[in-house]
A = this chain, B = another copy of it.
């Protein structure tokens, strides 16, 4: 099938790609942008169906792009070639690499999660910065978290900066968005302990039992954990801090706590 080549900067497809940077049109269309070779490859590896793939050979950085395009097309994506100028208009990154896809949004539910007998979960509350959420997803992936649960998030999972900062992990780590009360009830019902991380806790995270079915709960960047989670967590733990109070951000604190849980559980599973 011949590929359509877009050179006009006024092409309505280009305008749509720019619109999808914003949340409202993204949610209305239930679609989102996946920019970059690595991210698109991760999406395909995770069997995420791409609707469309826009590419511009003048921006390619390597030699593997044609193979990626073939894989995407075989998986059902419609391909469009863009002139260098046209791609510059739709690229969100400072240094584009000539690959930009549109994928359908998805919505996972707590009930739909397939979990082992002793899951390790990460619950994050009201995360504001897309970059932090992306880094948190990387941490969860590295630690082998079985799911990340976002309570009352300020940023959405499909923000282009989340996709980017997650280096595409957003496609492989199961993420659920749910209200805090429902998450707490679900954890209780499943027998999963909620361990909240807060500087005010008496117990050190390294001296607390982080084995068994576990959900590590982290608060927002600016306000920390809400009264709801501080009051309803099964255990509160703290990370010792030598330096300035804000030396650890939420993504760093999540990383430290998850890897301590991994250590106590005898490794990544």
A binding-site residues for B, Cβ under 8 Å: 42, 135, 138-139, 141-145, 167-169, 172-173, 204, 206, 239-244, 246-249, 252, 255-256, 259-260, 262-263, 267-269
Contact = CB atoms under 8 A, between A and B. Distances in A.
DSSP majority for the A interface? loop
Contact of A141 (B139, B141, B168, B242): B242
Nearest to A141: B243
A224 to B, nearest CB: 16
A138 B248 contact: yes
29 contacts: A135-B252, A138-B243, A138-B247, A138-B248, A141-B242, A141-B243, A141-B244, A141-B247, A142-B241, A142-B242, A142-B244, A142-B252, A143-B243, A167-B244, A167-B247, A169-B244, A169-B247, A204-B267, A239-B259, A240-B262, A240-B267, A240-B268, A242-B268, A242-B269, A255-B256, A256-B256, A256-B259, A259-B259, A259-B260
Q: Rank and list the top 3 A-B pairs by shortest CB-CB distance, nearest first.
A: A144-B242, A141-B243, A142-B247
A169 B252 CA distance: 15
A232 B148 CA distance: 40
A138 B141 CA distance: 22
Given A142-B248, A240-B262, A255-B256, 18 more contacts: A42-B244, A138-B243, A138-B248, A139-B247, A139-B248, A139-B252, A141-B247, A142-B243, A142-B247, A167-B244, A169-B247, A172-B244, A204-B267, A206-B263, A240-B268, A242-B269, A252-B252, A255-B255
Contacts of A168: 244
Contacts of A269: 242
B206 A243 contact: no
Contacts of A135: 252
Contacts of A243: 138, 141-144, 169, 172-173
A138 B246 CA distance: 9
